[in-house]
Structure 1
């Protein structure tokens, strides 16, 4: 028997609309937060695994996926995404939940914990960092800052350029050659939705979030986290290097660290079975299964 699926739209206090989907109807809710510029497709395998036993909730940030572009996409921040997460949690009836976050989503769930820790049963930051993510690139941070500022001022031009790159016949081979994904473990069919999503993305919100990521930092919160935490890292992650996850796990009391061998920033679709079983074990150990 297939799991019950509910789909809906939550409205924020300022009128933004957020698309959400809930797979399953188990008593423990898992709410997944995406990375920047990403919709819900990377969570598909985990949703399939947990929907028979849990309620697995995915949702789209403003202007991403099936959530329409808000009136002022240039105002998007990590903290705003965390407040939107609360709106979605209320809409799906999740008084308390386990929060999962991929890439930027790791910072979103930490902000959500900062705002309402009593509603958080556990945290699972995946392939991310607590903050200051561009520090991972050393001396390249000024270049990223320049790209973000130029892109913000020329979002439509950036969109046209991005679409041209995505349509280039060799883009998939280039992504593999650059180490963005594992050349053998990442299925192209699981990555194609990302290309499709980027080709339709309004980059005003993307650049606003990227600008906020230049300064956002929840590191000071880590020693005060008092819920179970599983930090997931990719051994070959270029965007959130392993040492950032190790640092995060070391600063959170009692946190566990799962390192996916050979895992890239797309390790969620490269090693979905291992990730699902490890998360299941973690939840069971903390009576959240």
Structure 2
């Protein structure tokens, strides 16, 4: 497997090369001591949501980094990863990138078994696609605030005849305009008004930390808009619910109490269709629950990891 290494502040940034030549970045969060001390530990791989910034994981990193080989990677067009050289941002392509990262993580360490995977939002369907293809690379899964299929899969509006086709056409039409909207998006995401607006429409819970989320908004504004839009188009095509009944590893599903982006009904499908899945509903949280109730979520994940056979 071809890989590259770069030294960045606080961590060693590594890359795998995707099938189309795109360089996909990953690194290990360091705890007390250097990275080598944790190479014989079972890895835990973190998979983001669409445009999620690394600070979303800070509570989990604080909880686990000193005792766990905690690995973070970035989708193509996100973070330190390159934009797709082929223009391909399909969910199945993200899953293939995760497959290559997982193999690289396992090859780099001294732990012979499969890693545990923790996925947030869009990462849930990406992880399930990895499991469809290579279940041997998944020891256990934690699925947070994301469904197996596209967002709002359970909503009546998208079940109306022609609704999904119309949505696909609208996203396809807007794709040519999205790159030209980058300056406007940057101004909007840098605005101090976006946080209270998110609270007003219910996208953010009352406990949402303003500084952390404004960091996220600004990061979205600096993204390649074509990459963002193509990822969103692919997410709206996602369909991995057929994988659920065949899952044979321990699974923990963590759901926000009120989330306008990941409907409770979509997450409840995970609980009902994955055999033996554990369930946690976190009160007073929305889609940014990793920041809104990070210590509660992290403690529950720690307990889940300790209980793995």
Give the TM-score, by structure 1 length: 0.91
Where in structure 2 are there 5+ consecutive unaligned residues?
A: 1-9, 31-37, 108-112
**1:15 counterpart = 2:29:** no
- Aligned match for 2:141, one of 118, 123, 126: 123
After TM superposition, the structure 1 = structure 2 runs for residues 150-165 of structure 1, keeping only pairs within 5 Å, are 150-165=173-188
* Alpha-carbon shift at residue 263 of structure 1 (Å): 1.2
Give 4+ residue runs of structure 1 displaced > 4 Å after superposition: 140-144
Say if 1:244 and 1:162 are closer, same or farther in 2 by CA, change over 3 A. same
Point out the more displaced range, 233-242 or 35-44: 35-44
Corresponding residue number in structure 2 for 1:176: 199
Contact 1:65 1:197 in 2 (8 A): no
Secondary structure of the 2:147 match is coil
After TM superposition, the structure 1 = structure 2 runs for residues 53-72 of structure 1, keeping only pairs within 5 Å, are 53-72=67-86
Corresponding residue number in structure 2 for 1:83: 96
**CA deviation string 1:117-165 (max 9, x = no partner):** 0111001111000103243454266575455223312122232331232
Where in structure 1 are there 5+ consecutive unaligned residues?
A: none
* Equivalenced residues, count: 282
- Aligned match for 1:272, one of 283, 294, 307: 294
Secondary structure of the 1:133 match is coil
Q: How large is the RMSD of aligned CA atoms in angstroms? A: 1.9
**1:38 counterpart = 2:52:** yes
**1:241 counterpart = 2:263:** yes
Alignment partners' CA distance in 1, 2:181 and 2:301: 38
Corresponding residue number in structure 2 for 1:195: 217
Contact 2:102 2:137 in 1 (8 A): no
* Alpha-carbon shift at residue 261 of structure 1 (Å): 0.7
Secondary structure of the 2:92 match is helix
Contact 1:134 1:214 in 2 (8 A): no
